[in-house]
Amino acid sequence: MAPLKDQEQWMKSAKALEECLVLIAIRFTAYATVEGRNVLEASARGLTFAMADVFAGALLCEHAAWSEAKTRASGSDAIMASAAKVDRISAQRWCEQLDRRVDQLIQSLGNEDRYEQDKEMLFGLADARAHPAQQASPVSSQTYGEAKL
């Protein structure tokens, strides 16, 4: 089977996937040179989600292309043809919206409030369980990650 970007019905989706990977690389690299380590570590989840969205899109496209090839090879099975069409439409719709989702994830990387929220989400409950007698204090004065699970 030819690569997706060489198949006419998949050119737009393949281009969207490639553009999102380039967007991730450019934005995160530029961002990594400006921001401090703490913010970068907190931003790793956003980067991972952005890459996972692109990977999911690639898998959806690959599966849909495989489904179409299988349908062409097996002849005129109406159920297989309908399933292949649904696979193709689903994959193409995913890729149509991919750039907006990835851009939104990348833009949220530098949000300082989000960094504090991520720390609270990751370490707040563990710290509260380790030190139940302490009263809650504002997020900015708490120490995170010191509790042993």
Question: Considering the chain, what percentage of its residues have pLDDT values greater than 70?
Answer: 71
Q: 48 by DSSP, 3-state: which?
A: helix
* Confidence (pTM): 0.65
Residue 136 maps to a domain:
no
Q: What is the pLDDT of residues 11-35, one digit of tens each?
A: 888 888 888 888 888 877 776 666 6
Q: What is the pLDDT of residues 37-71, one digit of tens each?
A: 666 666 777 788 888 999 999 999 999 989 988 98
Residue 84, domain extent: 10-128
Instruction: For the beta carbon of residue 43, count every other beta carbon within 10 angstroms.
Output: 23
Residue 2 maps to a domain:
no
* 115 in Cβ contact with 45 (< 8 Å): no
Q: Residue 6 — very low, low, confident or very high, per pLDDT cuts 50/70/90?
A: low
Residue 46 maps to a domain:
yes
Domains identified in the chain, total number = 1
The amino acid sitting at 123 is F
